[in-house]
Amino acid sequence: MKASFQLTKWSHFLALGFGSGLAPKAPGTFGTLVALPLVWLLSLAGTAWFIAFLLLGTLLGIYVCGKTAADVGEHDHGAIVWDEIMGFTLAMLFVPVTLGTLVLGFVLFRFFDIVKPWPIRWCDERVHGGLGIMLDDLLAALPALAIMHLVLYFGWLG
């Protein structure tokens, strides 16, 4: 049975990353691409706005991702990508935003989100609902964030 998303519902529109999650291939990657300009704009707005967006977006994401999954009857459908948007945002926390950091952050976040090493996979399999949908991506952001800061600390990005 094919999921029936309704982009006219604000919760579906947001959960599907403004429609980017409907990409026929690699919806998570397309959802993360939507986060690139958002992170860049938030970096211009300042740290307080960045953190506020991250906190509010995560709380909102727990609701909209859970609601959308319930509406279509499938937990963490691939088209639900708000979790990728928030995960990438977390991966860029306190990182100076440049083309290089955006690319590296994107690659690192996608790697950990796709591979799902322990404990990410464990949480992905056991935590359900909106929290579960959001949690694995937020956990995938943490090693990406740590590597980003190590790269910056050692000056390996140039």
The answer to the question of residue 76 being in a domain is yes
Residue 108, domain member (yes or no): yes
The pTM is what? 0.95
Q: Could you tell me the pLDDT band of residue 158, with boundaries at 50, 70 and 90? A: confident
Looking at the domain assignment, is residue 3 inside a domain?
Answer: no
73 domain residue, yes or no: yes
Domain of residue 32: give its range.
Answer: 25-153
3-state SS of the chain?
CCCCCCCCCHHHHHHCHHHHHHCCCCHHHHHHHHHHHHHHHHHHHCHHHHHHHHHHHHHHHHHHHHHHHHHHCCCCCCCCCHHHHHHHHHHCCCCCCCHHHHHHHHHHHHHHHHHCCCCHHHHHHHCCHHHHHHHHHHHHHHHHHHHHHHHHHCCCCC
On average, the pLDDT of the chain sits at: 95
Q: Could you read off the pLDDT of 2-44 as tens digits, one per residue?
A: 678 999 999 999 999 999 999 999 999 999 999 999 999 999 9
Calpha distance 132→130 (Å, rounded): 5
- Tell me if 124 is assigned to some domain: yes
* Domains held by the chain: number: 1
